[in-house]
Amino acid sequence: MLGGKQIAVLPLTDVPTAMIVGTVLALVVTRQSTGDHAEILRRHGEAMAVIGLIVSAAVFTAGTTAMGLTDASDRGDEGL
């Protein structure tokens, strides 16, 4: 938004350059001691496990819907 044509606070740039600048800026702003990195990586690993469960549930639901099993369970005993 700050680099948009309407505001023009920052010069227009391409996406890869903006991502590299943003990454470097984030590393400078959030710089921490090396002792904290192990705890941060542990928490990220726990979060990835939760995200993996959510993704697998979504894939399972899409698969059962594609096979028609979800629609059959919505009807209850009528489909039997």
**pLDDT, tens digit (0-9, with 9 covering 90-100), for 17-56:** 888 888 888 888 777 665 677 787 788 888 888 899 999 9
* Under 8 Å between Cβ of 72 and 66: no
* pTM given for the model: 0.43
pLDDT cut 70: percent of the chain above it: 69
- What is the token pair recorded at 47? 């979060």
- What is the token pair recorded at 73? 């369970």
- What is the token pair recorded at 66? 């594609």
Helix runs in 1-80, H state only:
15-29, 35-67, 69-75
Q: Compute the mean pLDDT over every residue in the chain, rounded to the nearest whole number.
A: 76
CA pair distance 63, 43, nearest whole angstrom? 30
